[in-house]
Copies of this chain bind each other. A is one copy, B any other.
């Protein structure tokens, strides 16, 4: 999936400059692109070259020209085609699960410390997410299908982290219970056979 369509999507709601688009990408967690200059400005050039957007240049004497991009009918068609196109499965790059794959080289205490650290990160992320959603719900009072869809999308995102938090918690609980029963001893001794 290309960032170009997301840009087209924003322009379908209102004309914007590269700088304005950059900000929209920067703070929305669902829009996973970093939204760096290079990407945005290049994408806008390409969209313009492909005839999907129009460019209005506001010239100023001292400052650089301000380039306002607007979507055109061809752009709307391209946007519609993309939205209807076959969806791709989400890509979950879960580095922590990779890390945990070799968690058996740690002692039970070390493992619990690691899980605790991760749980805290997830908790904080959830708080930031909720804050962002509230801020945005306040300033963005769209109605109709757009607003409904947006709410469901945010819910999905939050549910992911909620599930993550519950999972880590259950891991820690199990680990604690097992350690009390002596079932999962500190594995460092077991696995210290080097070579």
User: Hey, which bits of chain A sit against chain B, CB under 8 A?
Assistant: 1, 5-6, 9, 12, 30-32, 70-73, 76, 79-80, 82-106, 108, 110-111, 114, 117-118, 121-122, 125, 144-146, 148-150, 152-153, 155-157, 159-160, 163-164, 167, 171, 174, 178, 184, 187, 190, 194-195
| A146: chain B residues within 8 A (beta carbon) | 104, 187
For A154, give the chain B residue with the smallest CB separation.
B97
Check A117 against B12 for contact (C-beta < 8 Å). Answer: no
| A89: chain B residues within 8 A (beta carbon) | 96, 121-122, 125
Grouping DSSP codes into helix (H, G, I), strand (E, B) and loop, the A interface class, with mixed when no group exceeds half, is: helix
From B79, B99, B104, B195, give the contact of A87 (CB < 8 A): B99
Check A84 against B97 for contact (C-beta < 8 Å). Answer: no
Q: A189 to B92, alpha carbons, bound, how many Å?
A: 36
Given A88-B95, A94-B156, 20 more A-B residue pairs with CB atoms under 8 Å apart are A1-B98, A6-B101, A12-B105, A82-B99, A83-B99, A83-B102, A83-B105, A83-B106, A84-B106, A90-B164, A91-B94, A92-B92, A100-B149, A100-B152, A104-B145, A104-B149, A144-B190, A145-B184, A152-B167, A155-B167
